[in-house]
Amino acid sequence: MSTTTEDPFAVSLTETGPAARGTRPDEVVIAVSPAFAGFFTRTIVDVPHAEVLRQLMAGIEEQGVTSRLVRVWDTADLAAIAHTGAKLSGSGICVGLLSRGTTMIHQKDLPRLSNLELFPQSPLLDAEVFRGIGANAAQYAKGESPQPVPTRNDQMARPRWQAKAALLHLKEFEQIRHGVRPVEVTVAGSLSNTG
């Protein structure tokens, strides 16, 4: 999972400057955590981060909406990441992502601990679900009310993955840069090499 070993599906994100409030009403911000596509390159079940981004962006674009990537450095709390991204989004809609794959769709005028859709069982999220998340985020950006993205439910996912999730959570928190404001990022290279 760490970038210390060569991952053929690794993608890197290049910082381009401080993240500003978007002005496009047809934009969804994808806000990633400190370790996403950096210290870690895959979700808890080995979905490459490049594939996660590719599917989210494809789902957004298929709805005729654009996406913008932001990295939130000062927290590894999903609600805070997603809410920060929503306040930066021109449409007020954001998809927040943790490295392990836990995902949330947030809206700027909702309380931080509220959200439009939450996907807490990261071991059950695959490419199809990430594409659906992107599509739903785009529909919210257009003022629509989509049906929630269908996901699997596995009562044993939590106990089966709890130890690994806790370890990933600790490693994610080690990547936090206190006092650093969100930054715009671009994908260095291509997302097309994912499987």
Question: Looking at the domain assignment, is residue 109 inside a domain?
Answer: yes
What residues make up the domain containing 107? 12-146+154-187
**Residue 20 domain-assigned (yes or no):** yes
- Confirm whether 195 is domain-assigned: no
CATH code of residue 111: 3.40.50.10150
Predicted TM-score of the model (pTM): 0.91
Considering the domain boundaries, does residue 90 fall inside one? yes
pLDDT of residue 12: 84
Residue 192 lies inside a defined structural domain of this protein:
no
As a whole number of angstroms, the distance between CA 86 and CA 106 comes to: 6
Domain assignment present for residue 181? The answer is yes
pLDDT tens digits, one per residue of 28-75: 999 999 999 999 999 999 999 999 999 999 999 999 999 999 999 999
